Structure 1
Amino acid sequence: MVHWIKQWAGAFALLALAGAAVAAGADLGQAEKQPTNWTAIAMFGMFVAGTLYITKWAAAKTKSAADFYTGGGGITGFQNGLAIAGDYMSAASFLGISAAVMANGYDGLIFSIGFLVGWPIITFLMAERLRNLGKFTFADVAGYRFAQTPIRAFAATSTLIVVAFYLIAQMVGAGQLIKLLFGLEYWMAVVIVGSLMMVYVLFGGMTATTWVQIIKAVLLLCGASFMAFMVLWNFGFSPEAMFAKAVEIKSLLAADALTAEAVKAGADPATVDVAAAAAAKGLSIMGPGNFVKDPISAISFGMALMFGTAGLPHILMRFFTVPDAKEARKSVFWATTWIGYFYILTFIIGFGAITFVLTNPQFLDAKGGLLGGGNMAAIHLANAVGGNVFLGFISAVAFATILAVVAGLTLSGASAVSHDLYATVFKKGNVDSASELRVSRITTLCLGVVAVVLGIAFEKQNIAFMVSLAFAIAASANFPVLFMAVLWKDCTTRGAVIGGFLGLFSSVALTVLSPSIWEAVLGNEKGSALFPYASPALFSMTIAFVAIWLVSILDNSAQAKKERALFPDQEIRSETGIGASVASGH
C-alpha cells in the first residue's frame, strides 16, 4: 500500500513539474508576453515537493475513517484556528477581494466585512454545540434527534452543491495564476491543480489537508503583511496619501476612457466635459455604489456573506478535528484574529494595486487590461513592490492557498457522500471503515473531475463573487436547518428537510436567473435576467426559515412528538458535552 502511494504521489509530482517544464519551453498564449518566471517555477516545485512529503507522512497515519475525516480529533485549538484561517483565506479572499477593491474601491470592502462578521455567529451559536453534537459532518449535528435518511440526503445534496460553487472559484484562480506565470494554456493549468488536489485528499485525508492549510496560512499572512508594508512605505505610511493617489489614477483612466468613447461616437472630445465626469468617477471609488447598486442587493449580499459562513460544510467540518468544545472555541478565536488581520491587508493591497499596477504597462495587455485577468491584481502588485523573487514567493503561496482550500472542500464533499449517504442512508450504519474510505476516495476522484470541468467553464468570472454565490446557497440551506435543529425545540425532520430543500432550490434557481449567471455565464442579452439582484439570500433564507417553522408546527405525527421530546437531551449534550465523543473515541 505504501509503495503504491509513493508511486502515485511521485507520478503526480512529475505531472505538476512537467507542466512547469512545458511552460518553460513552450510558446502558449501568454508566453510571448510574459517571460518564463524561473523563480516562481522553483518555488512551486519546492512547495509541491514539500506538500507531497506531508501527504506521504499523513498517509501513514490515516488508517481509519476518523483519521481520514477529522485527523483523529487530535488537533489543538491554535493549530485548528490557523487551519480554519487557511481554509477561509482562499483564492477568493486573497486574489478576489484585492481585485474587487482595485476595480470598485470602497465597495470591495463588503466582501471583507461580510466574510468576517459571520464569525461571531459561529463563536456564540455554533462552535461549542457543533463539537459536542457532531462526529464527522454537519449532518451529524443537524440530524441528532431526527430521522437519519431524509436529513442526511438533504445534507449531502446541499453540501455537494455548495462545494461545487466554491470549487469553481478556486479552480479559476489557480488556472489564471499558472497561466500567467508559466504561459500554460488555461485548461492545462486547471488540470494540474485538480490532479495535485486529488493526491492530497486521496492519501493524506484531513491530517495532510490541515498541515498544508497551517503552513499556507503562515506563509500567506507573512507575504500579505510584507506587501501591505511596502505599499504604505511608499506613501510614508499615510493611508490618506495612498487613497488620494488612487483617486487621481482612477480619474486619469476614466478621462482616457471617456475621451475614447466620445471619439468612437463621433463627438468632439473638446465639447464633452471629460474632466468633470472623470473626476467624479475617480472619487466614486471612495464611496458605495460601484458594485452594490441598490439597498436590496446590499442587504441580500451582506446576509449571504454573514450567515453563509455558519453553513459552509468544509468550515463546519473543522470543528470535529479538535478534542473538545473548549478547543473548538479557541479555534474560532484564533481564526477570527488571523482572518480579521488578513482582511485589513487585502484592502491596502487592493488600493496598492490601483497605484502601482494600473499605471504600469509591464502588467497590462494591449487593450489595457491586466495580464492574466482581473483576478491577478495582487500577483502583479507583488512584482511591483518586491521584484521577481517576491513574485515567485507570493505566486507559490497563492497556489498553496488554492490547493489547500480545494483539498478541504473536496474532503467535505467526499465525506458527505461516503458518511452521510453511503454509510448512514444506504447501509443504515452497517458498514466498516475500509468500505467507507473506499467510497470517499472514489467520490474524491469524481469531485476532482467536476472541479476541473467547472473551472474551465467559468474562466472569466471574478472569484470573490463566485464564492459569494456559494455563501448564498449555504446561508439559505445549511444555516437555517442547523440553527433551527439545534436551538428550536419544536423543529421536526419534516420541517427541516422540506425547509432546507426549499432554501436550497430557491437559492440555486435565483442564482442561475440572476445577471451573474444568466447574462455573464450563459450569454443571454443584458437586462434579460429574471431575478435582478446580485444575491438571492434575502429571499431564499426567508423561504427556508418560514418553511421550517410552518411545516414543523403543522407536523403532529408520532415521529414529530418523539423528536420534540428528545430536545432536552440534545440541549444538555450541546451545552455540557456530556456524552460527546473525545479524540480517542472518535
Structure 2
Amino acid sequence: MIDTNPVLNMSIFGVFVLITLYMVYRVSSTGTATDYFAADGRFTGAQNGIALSGDFLSAASFLGIAGAIAVHGYDGFLYSIGFLVGWLINLLLVAELLRNTGQFTMGDVLSFRMRQRPVRAAAAVSTLVISFVYMIAQMAGAGSLVALLLDVHSSGGQALVIGGVGVVMVVYVLVGGMKGTTWVQIIKTGMLMLCTVMMTLFLMGKFGFSLTSLLQHAAEKNPLGDRIFSPGAKYGQSDVTKLDFVSLSLALVLGVAGLPHVLMRFYTVPDALQARRSVVWATCTMAVFYLCTLVIGYGAGAVNGTKAILAAPGGENSAAPLLAFRVGGTVLLGIVAAVAFATILAVVAGLTLTASASFAHDVYANVVKHGKADPDSEVRVARLTALVIGAASIFGGILVNGQNIAFLVSLAFAFAASANLSTLLFSLFWRRFNTRGTLWGIYGGLSSCLVLVIFSPVVSGSPDSILPGVDFAWFPLSNPGIVSIPISFLCGYVGTLIGGGQVSEKRTAEMEVRSLTGIGSS
C-alpha cells in the first residue's frame, strides 16, 4: 500500500472542479434546444475532435487498459487497438452522412424516412441502455480510484464518493448543456494528454530511455514472464477464451460507430467537412495516447510488479496511480488523481447529456408531444432526465465497483454495436430498409445482448462475477458481440423483407441527397 496524501489529492481535484464549473457557468447555454443539445453547431473540427477524444478516453482507457497491460501484457493492449481501429468506421461510413441527415440525436437519422414514433422510442431506449452501461463503468472507476488515492477502504466510503462524482457530473449537464460539457472535455483531454506524456517520459528516463530495459523488468516481475509479449496470456488458454477474444474484438471495432454520445458530437460542428476533421483530430490524439498507455502499462508492471498491483485497492485499475507514486511521488500521484477524476466526470457528463437529450427530443418532443413541444419544455425535460439518469448510474456504479473498467466498457461497446450499428448502416445505405426492419434490428440486437450478458460469467458463475455467490450462467463468453451483432443485422434484414411498403419514397430520396450533399442540413 502506498502512503497517499488525501488532502493534496482532493485539493488538486477540487481546484479542477471549481475552474471547470466556473467555465461551464460562463459558457452556459442560452436555453434554446439547439444550443443546449448541440451548442448551435459552432465548434470547429479541431475543437470537436479534441472533445471527442475527451468523450472517448474514459476511465477505461486511463486506468483499465494500463492495468490490463501491466497484468496480462499483449492481450491487455488489444483493448487499445480495438478502441482506435473502430474510428475508421466512423470516418469512412458514419460521420459525414450522420451530420448531414440529423439534428440532435441518432433518432433523427433512424426516423428520417420511417414511422416517427416507434422508431424514435426504440432509438431512445437503445441510447439509455448503452449510456447506462457505459456510465456504471465510469462510476466503478471512481470507486476504485478513491479507494487507492484517498485511502478510503470501506464499501460505504467508496459508495459515498461515487455519489459525489454523480452529483458534480449532473451539475455540469444542468448548467452548461453541450457547450459547457464540450469545454470540460477539451480541458480534460489537455490534462490527460499532458499527464500521460509526462508519465511516459519520466518512466523512460527511469530506465535510461531504453524500451528494451523497461520490457525486461516488466517480464521479470510478472508471473507470465516473456509470455506478456505475445498473444494468448489471457485469451489463449482454451478454445472458449480464443472465441471470447474474437467476440471482444468485434465489439470494440464495431461498437465505436454505435456509441450515442460519440454520434451526438457530430452535430456540434457546422458542416460535414468539420465532422470529418473531428474524427481525424480525435484519431490522431488517441493514437498518441494509446502508444503512451503501452509504455505506462508495461512500466507499471516493471516498477510495481503484478502482485503489488493486484493486491492494491482497485486491483488492475490501480496500476497507473501506483506507477505515478513510484515515479513522481505524492505530487504526481495527486495530479493523476485529479486527471482520473476529471476523466470520469467529463465522460459521465457527456453520457448523461446524450441520454437526457435522447429522451427529451425523441420520446418527449416527438412521441409524447407529436413533434409540437416547445424548446423550453424540451430542455426542462432533459434536465429532469439528467437527474434520474445520474441517480441510476450512481446505484449501478456501486453495484459493479471493483470490476476492471476496460472490460465493463467493452460490454457497452457490444450493446452499441448490437443495437445501433446495423440500423444506422441500413438506414444510410439501403433504400429498401423500413420501419419494421429498424425496430427488429434495434430490439433484436439489444435484447439478445442483454440476455447473453445476464447469463454469462460477467454476472454469475465465477469468482470475479458481479454476483460471485450464485451460478446461473449458461453462455460461456464474457463478451456477447460475436452472437448479438450478427443477430441484429439478421433481424434488421428479415424485418425489412416481411415489413411491406412502410417507406416513403420521397423521404428516401430526400435522405439520400441530403446525406451525400448536405443540402438542407443547416
Is the contact between residue 65 and residue 436 of structure 1 (CA under 8 Å) also seen in structure 2? yes
The reply on whether 1:467 has 2:409 as its aligned counterpart is: yes
SS of aligned partner of 1:516: coil
Cα displacement (A) at 1:295: 3.4
Aligned to 1:494: 436
Which 4+ residue blocks in structure 1 deviate beyond 4 angstroms? none
Aligned to 2:301: 354
Pick one of 538, 543, 559 that aligns with 2:482: 538
The reply on whether 1:332 has 2:286 as its aligned counterpart is: no
Letter in 1 for 2:453: T
Name the stretch that deviates more: 388-397 or 462-471: 388-397
Distance in 2 separating the partners of 1:192 and 1:34: 24
Letter in 2 for 1:202: L
Distance in 2 separating the partners of 1:155 and 1:503: 12
The reply on whether 1:211 has 2:211 as its aligned counterpart is: no
Pick one of 148, 162, 171 that aligns with 1:180: 148
SS of aligned partner of 1:535: coil
Is the contact between residue 65 and residue 437 of structure 1 (CA under 8 Å) also seen in structure 2? yes
Structure 1 unaligned blocks of 5 or more: 1-29, 255-280, 582-586
Aligned to 1:507: 449
Distance in 1 separating the partners of 2:352 and 2:105: 13
Is the contact between residue 58 and residue 205 of structure 1 (CA under 8 Å) also seen in structure 2? no
Letter in 2 for 1:188: L
Per-residue CA deviation, residues 198-245 of structure 1 (Å, 9 max, x unaligned), is 100011111111001000101110110011112222222222221111
Distance in 1 separating the partners of 2:30 and 2:325: 40
Distance in 2 separating the partners of 1:471 and 1:381: 28
The reply on whether 1:556 has 2:497 as its aligned counterpart is: no
The reply on whether 1:68 has 2:36 as its aligned counterpart is: yes
Cα displacement (A) at 1:482: 0.5
Is the contact between residue 179 and residue 189 of structure 1 (CA under 8 Å) also seen in structure 2? no
Name the stretch that deviates more: 181-190 or 192-201: 181-190
Is the contact between residue 62 and residue 204 of structure 1 (CA under 8 Å) also seen in structure 2? no
Is the contact between residue 34 and residue 180 of structure 1 (CA under 8 Å) also seen in structure 2? no
Cα displacement (A) at 1:35: 4.5
Aligned to 1:3: none
Pick one of 501, 513, 519 that aligns with 1:572: 513
Letter in 1 for 2:457: P
SS of aligned partner of 2:73: helix
Name the stretch that deviates more: 442-451 or 388-397: 388-397
Please, what TM-score do these two structures have when normalized by structure 2? Answer: 0.95
Distance in 2 separating the partners of 1:461 and 1:472: 17
Is the contact between residue 112 and residue 507 of structure 2 (CA under 8 Å) also seen in structure 1? no
Distance in 2 separating the partners of 1:569 and 1:70: 23
SS of aligned partner of 2:39: helix
Letter in 2 for 1:554: I
Is the contact between residue 70 and residue 318 of structure 1 (CA under 8 Å) also seen in structure 2? yes
Aligned to 1:287: 230
Aligned to 1:482: 424
Letter in 1 for 2:292: L
Per-residue CA deviation, residues 414-468 of structure 1 (Å, 9 max, x unaligned), is 0111001000111011111111111111100001100110111101210100000
Q: Let me know the Cα RMSD of the aligned residues.
A: 1.6
Cα displacement (A) at 1:504: 0.5
Cα displacement (A) at 1:525: 5.2
Distance in 2 separating the partners of 1:494 and 1:359: 51
The reply on whether 1:149 has 2:117 as its aligned counterpart is: yes
Distance in 2 separating the partners of 1:343 and 1:68: 32
Per-residue CA deviation, residues 377-413 of structure 1 (Å, 9 max, x unaligned), is 1111111111211111111011111100000000011
Cα displacement (A) at 1:76: 0.8
Letter in 1 for 2:468: G
The reply on whether 1:241 has 2:213 as its aligned counterpart is: yes
Aligned to 2:25: 56
Aligned to 2:203: 231
Per-residue CA deviation, residues 45-100 of structure 1 (Å, 9 max, x unaligned), is 210110110121123x4321111111111111100000000111110100010011
SS of aligned partner of 2:459: helix
Cα displacement (A) at 1:524: 4.8
Distance in 2 separating the partners of 1:496 and 1:372: 41
Letter in 1 for 2:517: T
Distance in 1 separating the partners of 2:390 and 2:175: 14
Cα displacement (A) at 1:507: 0.6
Distance in 1 separating the partners of 2:467 and 2:313: 24
Distance in 2 separating the partners of 1:42 and 1:542: 48
- Residue correspondence of structure 1 range 25-36 to structure 2 within 5 A: 34-36=3-5
Please, what TM-score do these two structures have when normalized by structure 1? Answer: 0.85
The reply on whether 1:307 has 2:267 as its aligned counterpart is: no
- Residue correspondence of structure 1 range 12-411 to structure 2 within 5 A: 34-59=3-28, 61-184=29-152, 185-250=157-222, 254=223, 281-293=224-236, 294-358=241-305, 369-411=311-353
Cα displacement (A) at 1:38: 3.0
Aligned to 1:21: none
Is the contact between residue 62 and residue 71 of structure 1 (CA under 8 Å) also seen in structure 2? no
Cα displacement (A) at 1:124: 0.7
